[in-house]
Chain A
Amino acid sequence: MVGTMELLGMALGTFLIFSTLSMLWKDNPFFRVGQMAVMGSSIAHFILLNMQTVRDNAWTPLLNGDILMVIPLVLGLLMYARLKKSIAWLSRYPSSVLIGIGTGVMIAGTVSGQVLDQIAITITDVFNGGGINAMIIAIGVVTSITFFVFTKEHTGVVGKSASIGRKFLMISLGANWSGEIVWYLTQLVGRLMYIKNFLTALMGG
């Protein structure tokens, strides 16, 4: 048996689902209400959780004597400098730190894991009993890369390879798109299940 408060929550959720889905017919005030409610609650949640993170990871350690925590706090505050045009340039410092650390952390793994290892696997699979699948993948990789070679005119062998690569890219995009469609459908099924559960609870089920 569902409690009254939970039932009210489910009713509100159902109202917001219908409000959001009403956009499929056309733009309307109910859709706007649903949209704003979802955005507002999400932003509030994100702000609170990130404030809590700053408190736990930097502010509290600083109060406990970890003086180095001044650095991330100041860098974080500098991000807000972009709100005032005359000092907006200050926000470039934390941005530079973020980009520098991000690039440094990812570069080694990228070269090894995503370039060298992927090339090696693509080639060795062909000769290690990978069969027709490995062959198709190898051809797909080579021809697709050819499609993105812009320093040589796409004529002759390069043109044929690029043309085949284009078809591989289309198939790849099609596979991605099918995943997207099924994903949207899953969201719809999930919301319909929510409404069904609400109706069941409403009838005392």
Chain B
Amino acid sequence: MSILRKLGKIDYRWLYITSLILTAIPLFVPIGLSVTLSEPVKDYYAAIQALPEDSVIAVSFGGSAALLDEQEAQFLATWKTIFSLGHKVIFYSTTEDGPMILRDHLGKKVIPEDYGYTYGVDYVELGFSPLGEPGQASFAANIRGVYQADSRGTPLDDLPMMIGFNNFENIDLLIYEYTSCTDIEWAIRQWTVPYQTKVIATTLGCCGPMAAPYYPSQIAGFLSGSGAGTELEVLSGNPGPGAAMSDSKSIGILPQLIFIAFGNIAYFANKFSKEDEQ
């Protein structure tokens, strides 16, 4: 068997093993590779920075426990940025996992009270509601139509921040955090089009190409994958899990690139050699 044919038939488990080893090494011996900032991330950060003092931000939280590694850096860097600027925040969950992740992260990894926040006055957590797109529409038009109480069971009218607060008119920026790629369309259809609410979004790396057509005309900026989370950490000066992951991803991807190159070289070499034989 020729070398080229052998290249095309390497046991795929070698790919897994080499990827695993190369991914693990930087976790123990950080390399410190540089991070390049992309335009959607810069604009995402600029949209938050441009808000006037005491603005109100709604965070539509669609995080998933199974996909958290991809988005944790985005979430933490975003929340730290918001809290450091002192804006008021409403968190509401669109996924079943959402409240669990929020409870864990807002209580342990980013603590609003450390930034001088008071629950009910500066931020609220409304909990999960099986929203879907009609739910987003309902939330934008009438928050109390979806939530009568917050996640702790306190009626909304008993929360100082929520008094006289009931729809899109009170919201200066929507941060749309989602995992299902086509969900970005909900924000476009239910927030951008009817109310011209400023929207920025965070999503998985594989969903970025589906968010890109709406940027910058309909969404002001977006974070796609943990790489963008790392960029936001660098941009906002809030290091977190993204920085720790960055080197591992950059090195761990190398075997896959090499295998793709080998596979293609072997494929075309075999194809041309067969044509020559004929």
A contacts, CB < 8 Å to B:
24-25, 42, 45-46, 49-50, 53, 56-57, 61, 101-102, 105-106, 108-110, 112-114, 117-118, 121, 172, 175-176, 179-183, 185-193, 196
Residues of A within 8 A of B23 (CB): 185, 188-189, 192
B160 within 8 A of A: no
Given contacts A105-B134, A113-B188, 12 further A-B contacts (CB under 8 A): A25-B13, A50-B130, A53-B130, A106-B185, A108-B194, A109-B193, A113-B192, A185-B253, A187-B69, A192-B20, A192-B23, A196-B28
With the chains together, A188 CA to B208 CA distance in Å?
20
Report the separation of the CA atoms of residues A108 and B185 in the bound assembly, to the nearest whole angstrom.
12
Contact of B193 with A186 in the complex, beta carbons under 8 Å: no
Q: How far is the CA of A74 from the CA of B220 in the complex (A)?
A: 42
Footprint of A on B, CB under 8 Å? 13, 16, 19-20, 23-24, 27-28, 66-70, 72, 96-97, 99-100, 128-130, 132-134, 137, 148-149, 185, 188-190, 192-194, 204-209, 213, 217-218, 224-227, 241, 244-245, 248-249, 252-253, 256
Cα of A193 to Cα of B242 in the assembled complex, Å: 11
- Complex Cα distance, B188 from A51, in Å, reads 30
Complex A-B: 30 CB contacts under 8 Å? A42-B66, A49-B99, A49-B128, A53-B129, A102-B132, A106-B133, A106-B185, A108-B189, A109-B185, A109-B188, A109-B193, A110-B185, A113-B193, A117-B218, A118-B213, A121-B217, A179-B206, A180-B205, A182-B205, A182-B249, A183-B70, A183-B204, A185-B249, A186-B69, A189-B27, A189-B245, A190-B70, A191-B69, A192-B20, A193-B241
State whether A183 touches B206 (Cβ < 8 A): yes
With CB as the reference atom, state the residue of chain A lying closest to B242.
Answer: A186
Q: Which of A109, A112, A176, A186 has the largest number of chain B CB atoms within 10 A?
A: A186
Dominant secondary structure at the B interface:
helix
Q: Which residues of A contact B248 (CB under 8 A)?
A: 189, 192
B209:A192 contact, CB within 8 angstroms = no
B194 to A, closest residue via Cβ: A109
Question: What separation, in Å, do the CA atoms of A172 and B212 have in the docked complex?
Answer: 11
Q: In the complex, are the beta carbons of B190 and A176 less than 8 A apart?
A: no
What is the distance, in angstroms, from B218's C-beta to the closest C-beta of chain A?
A: 7
Whole-angstrom distance between the alpha carbons of A174 and B21 in the complex?
A: 26
Partner among A42, A179, A189, A193 whose Cβ is within 8 Å of the Cβ of B204: A179
A42 to B96 alpha-carbon distance, docked (Å): 10
Closest 6 CB pairs of A and B: A109-B189, A190-B69, A179-B206, A113-B193, A179-B205, A189-B248
Report chain A residues within 8 Å CB of B130: 50, 53
Assess whether A185 is in contact with B252, with CB atoms less than 8 Å apart: yes
With the chains together, A110 CA to B253 CA distance in Å?
A: 37
